[in-house]
Structure 1
Amino acid sequence: MVGLKPSDIPPTPAVKFIGAGTAACIADLFTFPLDTAKVRLQIQGETTGSAAVNGIRYKGVFGTLSTIVKTEGPKSLYNGLVAGLQRQMSFASIRIGLYDTVKLFYTNGKEKAGIGSRILAGCTTGALAVTVAQPTDVVKVRFQAQANLHGVKKRYNGTMDAYKTIAKKEGIKGLWKGTFPNVTRNAIVNCTELVTYDLIKENLLHHKLMTDNLPCHFVSAFGAGFCTTVIASPVDVVKTRYMNSPPGQYKSALNCAWTMITKEGPTAFYKGFVPSFLRLGSWNVVMFVSYEQLKRAMMMSKQRMEYAV
């Protein structure tokens, strides 16, 4: 057995909620530079923005990472990390931590869930999470898009300053900018990610190809990351561009998508695909492996505490 053994008692909703948020933060710490590279590649081609103004061109994921380090310093790879961690604690806790609970709700308490119930649960928790965590996502994207170049005025001086500035200049609605494409994206991402992970893991165990340990979790998470990237990339690009745009650049998320396809062609929807996959694939692996181990560790601690009493 690789890693901690599964608990004899199923993890409680509270354990899943806390474990999901913590595991997502761990995954973000490892993969954040890839997410920053993805954002820079996704907004490339817009007529506005610091990178466009300064004539900087990004080529490929590693070229983008290298360019950011050379022109802005290594710290810029972690622009928006504070907002990113805030996002994961409020976002992943809901979308991942509550998935099994909502799935049981849709199956009326039955352990065996059909594909329809899984999809509904994924869409529900994904959409619910966005309504709570949207402001943190807006701030994270804006920081990642912000180039820290000499002579260029910073858009925001800090995380709290970003929240205050956006609310002051764009109103409270500005903090929820891009909610529609983000709800769409995260319903798709959550649904694909969790359902695919669920199904791959379930089939590996059912056909006895693997046991319920780290290699099984790794394979399931990697497969979920690839499927999710392919399906969610177009919505993700629109979400990133719309959330990063200044007031008035796009009338709506649909207008943003239409502008992209008319000016840059359909391939614009897959800009940043490689860093998206590298980031989402590695994020899924770190998150799900951490999540499974954290759930087991917390349940073991809980049982020890109960025995001690």
Structure 2
Amino acid sequence: MSPPAIGGNLVEKESTIARILGAGTAGVAELAIFHPVDTIAKRLMSNQSRIASASQLNEVIFRKSASEPAVRRFFTLFPGLGYAAAYKILQRVYKYGGQPFVRDYLTTHHGDSFNRTFGKGNGKAIMAATAGSIIGVGEVVLLPLDVLKIKRQTNPEAFRGRGVMRIVRDEGFGLYRGWGWTAARNAPGSFALFGGSAAAKQYLFKLSDYNSATWFQNFIASIAGSSASLIVSAPLDVVKTRIQNQNFEVKESGVKVIAKMARNEGASSFFKGLVPKLLMTGPKLTFSFWLAQTLIPAFNKMM
């Protein structure tokens, strides 16, 4: 049976359980494989000096363990794993599982408006992108877990022996520092992620039902979406990371961070870590997004 059509658009209706299971499985798999890669990217983005040699790169990535044997150095790339597990799994369930609900709402209540404004095919892709942008802004709810994860990865001295409950009690809403920059990054980044994927399915593969995409089509669509997302969100992601990796008592605003970066490091500093992110974080995002897009319809068929 074909999916129902609303406002001239086919609606991909998956069950709530299928969305949660598919997105959650993608989050678990991503964390297990890519947490060390994420640590490397965060440390490169946090570095404020020019890297001119392999030895300097080694020190930026491995820090005090730069001279340790390779095996020991590798295990230093797993700080904040507990925070990362809580954040990443909740984030993927919220983002990949939540976007379809917003998309369904937009299709049901505003589908005709999108079609009139952008055209039938364009309207569906823009709705998917808009739903992603809305859900991306709401992702700031999970910000404290991301803050704790990033500090563990890049600035463990900020904890000074305090446990998570003590930090939450001491810092309170201070853990939401940088929430505005996070929302500003997530809005275009999530728009590009879901929009790029939808555009690939719509225009490259000529699909009217996105859930009918094969695993290969989902893979190509995920590459398109994740690459677009990383490029669009790169400057604000660097600012966000620098705000979040400061010591808890530092209250430097995003505007000051931007001014200091522009003055001391130049315009290229806003794209620091972009190549490693495209080479390392890009595959991570592609992998989890591809897995979610493939598993959600698969779980739905099994229910």
Give the superposition deviation at 1:226.
1.6
Unaligned runs of 5+ residues in structure 2 are 1-11, 50-54, 113-119
Q: Aligned to 2:147, what secondary structure does the other structure show?
A: helix
| Residue type of the alignment partner of 2:153 | Q
Query: Quick check: 1:193–1:224 contact (8 Å CA) kept in 2?
Result: yes
- The answer for the alignment partner of 2:47 in structure 1 is 44
Work out the CA distance in 1 between the residues paired with 2:149 and 2:298.
Answer: 30
- Does 2:148 match 1:139? yes
Query: Quick check: 1:34–1:278 contact (8 Å CA) kept in 2?
Result: no
Work out the CA distance in 2 between the residues paired with 1:22 and 1:156.
Answer: 34
Structure having the larger proportion of residues in helix: 2
Give the superposition deviation at 1:87.
0.9
Work out the CA distance in 1 between the residues paired with 2:38 and 2:134.
Answer: 25
Work out the CA distance in 1 between the residues paired with 2:128 and 2:151.
Answer: 33
Give the superposition deviation at 1:187.
1.7
Which range is displaced more, 86-95 or 237-246? 86-95
Give the superposition deviation at 1:134.
0.8
- The answer for the alignment partner of 1:53 in structure 2 is none
Give the superposition deviation at 1:69.
6.4
RMSD, aligned CA: 3.0
Q: TM-score, normalised by structure 2?
A: 0.78
Aligned residues: 271
- Does 2:155 match 1:155? no
Percent identity at matched positions?
21
Work out the CA distance in 1 between the residues paired with 2:245 and 2:273.
Answer: 15
- The answer for the alignment partner of 1:30 in structure 2 is 33
Work out the CA distance in 2 between the residues paired with 1:15 and 1:273.
Answer: 33
Per-residue Cα deviation, 1:14-47 (whole angstroms, up to 9, x for no partner)? 321332132123122222222111111111117x
Q: Aligned to 1:206, what secondary structure does the other structure show?
A: coil
Per-residue Cα deviation, 1:130-153 (whole angstroms, up to 9, x for no partner)? 22x111100110111046xxxxx6
Work out the CA distance in 2 between the residues paired with 1:239 and 1:154.
Answer: 17
Query: Quick check: 1:36–1:77 contact (8 Å CA) kept in 2?
Result: yes
Q: Residues 202 and 157 (structure 1 numbering): CA distance in 2 closer, same or farther, change over 3 Å?
A: farther
- Does 2:134 match 1:124? yes
Query: Quick check: 2:44–2:273 contact (8 Å CA) kept in 1?
Result: yes
- The answer for the alignment partner of 1:101 in structure 2 is 101
- The answer for the alignment partner of 1:4 in structure 2 is none
Work out the CA distance in 2 between the residues paired with 1:286 and 1:87.
Answer: 17
Give the superposition deviation at 1:67.
8.9
| Residue type of the alignment partner of 2:149 | K
Query: Quick check: 2:178–2:243 contact (8 Å CA) kept in 1?
Result: yes
Query: Quick check: 2:106–2:127 contact (8 Å CA) kept in 1?
Result: yes
Q: TM-score, normalised by structure 1?
A: 0.77
